[in-house]
Amino acid sequence: MTEYEIREQIAYYEDEIQSKRQYIRKQEDKLAELDALKSKLGSLEYEFEGKQTTRRSKLSLLSLLTGKCRIAKGYFDGMSGLLSGSDYRNALSGFDMAAGRVGQEQDLCKANISGAAREIARCNDRIDSLRQQLAATIAEASV
């Protein structure tokens, strides 16, 4: 390769490194957003659980009247199903699924960052090799 071609190759790999660094920054920003989202999901689930617990404790007070009043029993049975039944389990499952999906996205971001870092290392190795080749080419031309 000529000196000009070697310098062009070095510039190309330096541009690649800049591009990969920019990509890594974007992935890190996305990872930070996902961390915040996961934290928010945890807070929402905790808040949901707290409200459900409060509702169940209020409903338990009504259980004292269920033997005396059919309407109270019907209401108690219906609300018990809502607060502890399949709708409640589906809601909790939804939180778990959302957290799992966020976790998958986090893992993908981390893998993308690692891959880009490996590509940067390969580019740096190639630049080092090209610089050695450039030095040899310049030394040959000066002889």
Residue type, 139: A
pLDDT, average across residues 71-99 = 85
Residues 3, 141: contact at Cβ < 8 Å? yes
Report if pTM > 0.95.
no
Separation of alpha carbons 111 and 24, rounded Å: 11
Counting the structural domains of the chain, the total is 1
Half-sphere exposure of 111 (CA within 13 A, CB side): 6
Token readout for 137 is 């080419």
Please give the residue range of the domain that contains residue 40.
Answer: 3-142
Question: What is the radius of gyration, based on Cα positions, of the chain?
Answer: 31
Instruction: Say if residue 37 is exposed, middle or buried (CB neighbours under 10 Å; 0-12, 13-18, 19+).
Output: middle
> What share of the chain in percent tops pLDDT 70?
99
Q: Is the pLDDT of residue 74 over 90?
A: no
